[in-house]
Amino acid sequence: MSALLSLENVSVSYGRIQAVRDVSVSIEPGRIVTIIGPNGAGKTTLMQAAMGLLPSDGAMHFDGANLAAVDVETRVERGMCLVPERRELFHDMSVEDNLILGAYARRANAEIKRDLDDVFDRFPRLRERRKQLAGTLSGGERQMLALGRALMAKPRLLLLDEPSLGLAPLIVREIFHTIASLRSLGISILLVEQNARAALETADYGYVLETGQVTQQGRAADLIGDPKLIAAYLGGH
């Protein structure tokens, strides 16, 4: 199966500092791929480069097309959607209006209403709070809203940056259960996450990024049983 997104020997620099060095990552349609590693390893930098938010060297292709001269807006139109670590919601707007904004690039109102209902079915708590201001939601609810808004764009590839950050363990389980359920929609997911155990339990394939380079990769089920990874990232048990 050919890759939906492929990054080949991608490097990203901040001035003279090389934050990502010769990284290659591949995501097949309908698969969940995770990039794990310590804070400052270059995970978020790599994801931002994939989205076109940072300049990079190397080759990137989405659905076979070269992304070299493709801007962020066009990448979104083609089906790439980033949910950033900070979630970046419109706090003074209602939950429902935030969701509708996610469909800004689409025109068919009947479709948008149906998709809104689908998001509310997936996140019943958002339905209960549909008229509430986004800024008044809890951390877990904000993450649900950020995911729901991304789904309103009908993405082919979701790029999720640290979706568990700052959330209680119970909410983290709920969020990862939702992420896993998106396979049924045929959506591919690139998941950057410090919670290595939750990420590997959810993903099909994993990459370990350390100081800007891939040090290990393989099936998530194999990585989660790797003694070296257990000691470094999985709490020693």
231 within some domain: yes
Tell me: do 68 and 99 sit in the same domain: no
Residue 4 lies in a domain: yes
Output the pLDDT for position 166.
86
Residue type, 166: G
Residue 175 lies in a domain: yes
Tell me if 114 is assigned to some domain: yes
> Same domain for 168 and 225?
yes
- Residue 232, pLDDT score: 81
pLDDT for 108: 61
User: Does one domain contain both 15 and 54?
Assistant: yes
- Give the number of residues written for the chain: 237
Residues 74 and 160 in one domain: yes
Q: Which of 154, 183, 198 is the last residue of a domain?
A: 154
Instruction: Specify the CATH number for the domain of residue 206.
Output: 3.40.50.300
| Look-up of token digits 């951390």 | 139
Identify whether residues 136 and 165 lie together within a single domain.
no
pLDDT for the residue 237: 40
- What pairing do the DSSP bridges indicate for beta strands 80-83 and 157-161? parallel
Instruction: Quote the pLDDT of residue 236.
Output: 45
103: containing domain? 89-154
Pair 69, 97 in one domain: no
Residue 145 lies in a domain: yes
Residue-level pLDDT at 1: 64
Token readout for 97 is 């209006």
In the prediction, which pLDDT does 106 show?
61
Domain boundary, last residue among 154, 172, 187: 154
- How many separate domains does the chain show? 2
84 part of a folded domain? no
pTM confidence score: 0.90
Indicate whether 147 and 168 sit together in one domain. Answer: no
3-state secondary structure of 237: coil
Q: Does 163 share its domain with 72?
A: yes
Answer yes or no: do 193 and 226 share one domain.
yes
186 with 148, same domain: the answer is: no
End-of-domain residue from the set 100, 125, 154: 154
For residue 101, tell me if it sits in a domain: yes
Question: Is the domain of 223 the same as that of 106?
Answer: no
For residue 20, which phi and psi values (nearest 5 degrees)? -135, 135
Check whether residue 71 and residue 166 sit in a common domain: yes
β strands within the chain, DSSP E:
5-14, 17-27, 32-36, 57-62, 65-66, 80-83, 157-161, 188-193, 205-210, 213-219
What backbone phi and psi angles, to 5 degrees, belong to 103?
-100, 25
The parts of the chain modelled with pLDDT lower than 70 are: 1, 87, 105-108, 234-237
pLDDT of residue 87: 66
Q: Which of 167, 173, 170, 101 is nearest to 139 (CA)?
A: 167
